Amino acid sequence: MPWRETRNPYHIWISEIILQQTRVEQGREFYLRFIDEFPKILDLATASEEAVLKAWQGLGYYSRARNLHKAAQQIVQEMGGEFPHDYDQIRSLPGIGDYTAAAIASFAYSQPKAALDGNVKRWSSRFFGIQTELSKPAFSKEVLPLLQVGIENSGDPYSFNQASIELGSQICTPQSPRCESCPLQTDCFAYTHGRVSEFPKVTPKKAPQIWNLHFLALRWKNEWCIMQRPAKGIWASLYEFPSLSCDTPEQSLPDAWAEALSSSIKVLEHRQSTHLLSHKKVQAQCWYAEWIDPVISPLDLQKEGRFLQNMSDSNNSEVWISLSELRRVPVHRLMDSFIDALPT
């Protein structure tokens, strides 16, 4: 992987943030695209937030892209544009936690800082026989000192952390771990006691909350109506077709839209899609429609405050843009799929 062929702390930082939410194979494409768009810290720091979000599109967790942007600006404004060498300084940057700081410190600067991600947690819980639940802060407090002794005695912090992470991702996997190939087999608590299936200790995930969401893809004079989501919350500040949350998965145009617009629009197509977020399952429906009222235009209603701004999940104003412009603004993955399905 390209991020393992460099000691550039900026490149390693970008790769670690990307890999927090995607598999290595998919992450490579996003990493190369992001680095091509912002080759240096200064490029990222001076870019607009909208450009950064667009480059991040498809990865989700857009707060991480915003934190990258903020951290790059902090590095330029307060650190002379040079990525910090000190672990504590790295850790102080927006969006960088203990694991990411340790990974950058060891991979870029060969500093003996043990990196503890999900892969490392899994093999260490089995190896040491740790009874503490994996997601609890107490787990990290118990394991990190043990790993820290190992990395300090290794003489090669870079290789220690890389091997530790790959042990969990390639050998000590969540299901059907390859114990017969594990170099730590003879000293592993779980293996030697025949209790591999009991580790790590995890709490079952709760069923995701259902979110019924309608979108209205409305075309007028070859332009499409979009709105920017609120600055906080899910998909913060991203653009989308006007959306409206409903209590139930209705198979018809929401009442608020039907009552206000039924005589002015013609529904051309209806699509349904399911999209998974971290704690929500979005059951989405997109209504593709054309403005057909020859007397009143959408702009007339906008001026009177009687258009979609008051009938959507966003309180931002409606914007009309062409299809080519629509493909250039930052949108979430669900919106991207609706754009791809726009009727001609």
Give catalytic residues, as residue numbers. Answer: 16
Q: Which of 329, 328, 327 is nearest to 316 (CA)?
A: 329
Dihedral angle over CA of 330, 331, 336, 339, nearest 10 = -80
Stated as kind and residue range, the H or E segment containing 63 is helix 62-78
Q: Do the Cβ atoms of 233 and 321 come closer than 8 Å?
A: no
Separation CA 144–CA 142 (nearest Å)? 6
Q: 292, 266 in Cβ contact below 8 A?
A: yes
Helix 62-78 vs helix 49-56: angle between axes, to the nearest 10 degrees? 130
Contact predicate 264/296, CB 8 Å: yes
Cβ-contact 32, 2 below 8 angstroms? yes
HSE-CB at 241 with a 13 A cutoff on CA atoms is 27
